[in-house]
Amino acid sequence: MQHVVTPDETGKRADVIVAHHTGFSRSLVAAAVRRGDVRVNGAAVKGSYLAAPGDVIDYDVRERPKLEVEPEAIDLPIVYEDEDLIVVDKPAGMVTHPAHGATSGTLVNALLAHVRSLPGDALRPGLVHRLDRDTSGLIVVAKSDLALSSLGKAMKARFITREYLGLVTGVPAHAKGTVDGAIGRDPHNRLKFAIVAEGKPAVTHYEVRDVLANAAELVFRLETGRTHQIRVHMSAMRHPLVNDPVYGKTDPRFDLPGQALHAWRLTFRHPRSGRDMIFVADPPPEYRRAKEILAAR
């Protein structure tokens, strides 16, 4: 499609103009910009380009195909299971639920092949919380409506305790501490998150577990569960997670798919019996080997 900028549109952003004329969301237009499918006078531009009268905007904005989740026979490291819930030790490198760009091979695909049916949202059935793709460790999934409702409320009330182990560059000056910084989209890079004034509240408690050679292993306890929370907060402290390709840097010495972060301890009250449930999962071999390498430096 093509549009010639009118005098009334002078100074408006190219992505705003395209969104107005197509009726598509800004996110879909932004995706078209990233693909190079929004061009002004024949040249690809950023969405922030300010239009001038007579500019010719060519654009190709497409609706994303509807996502559907299919069961897939994928081995799952199941830690615990009963009629109401299942606790899985998710491998690093596995996406939690389907999304554009990751429509198969996810934890949800594997779970649906294992239990056939899960309550809740079609794309995120049974999910009470999630883990980043390259973060390994414990995640609880509801199998019943009772469990999904009860665990969801417990998560909002902060009655579910999640602790992580992570390797960070350098050694924090204080053995214990708290990072309290609201998290939102990075204004300079929409693919990242950052501490921003208009972000959502986020609180991370940390404690040094082991001092290594110019590195440390920390225990993290979350009060909130924002996307990339630990990674963003540690980067803000200038102690990014080891091998973090987004908020730090990768290191070819480590056989890790991404950041050295593992959800190792999970505590909650069973939604039916009321019993306290405590689960612990050791980090995977790749994490342990990375720690050994850092200790030997």
Residue type for 106, please? T
Distance of alpha carbon 188 from alpha carbon 201, whole angstroms? 20
Name, in order, each residue with C-beta under 8 angstroms of 33's C-beta and a sequence gap of 6 or more. 14, 15, 45, 46, 47
- In the three-class reduction of DSSP (H, G, I as helix; E, B as strand; rest coil), residue 180 is classed as strand
CA distances to 89, 131, 268, 280 from 154, rounded to whole Å, are 21, 18, 8, 19
CA of residue 156 relative to chain centroid, distance:
18
Distance of alpha carbon 140 from alpha carbon 138, whole angstroms? 7
Instruction: List 136's β-bridge partners, or say none.
Output: 262
Name, in order, each residue with C-beta under 8 angstroms of 41's C-beta and a sequence gap of 6 or more. 55, 56
* H-run or E-run covering 81: strand 78-81
∠ CA 213-206-178, rounded to 5°: 125
Distance of alpha carbon 96 from alpha carbon 138, whole angstroms? 12
DSSP string for residues in 122-147 = SSSTTBSS---TT-EEEEEEE-SHHH
- Which residues are catalytic, by number? 132
Dihedral angle computed from the Cα positions of residues 281, 79, 133 and 283, in that order, rounded to the nearest 10 degrees:
20
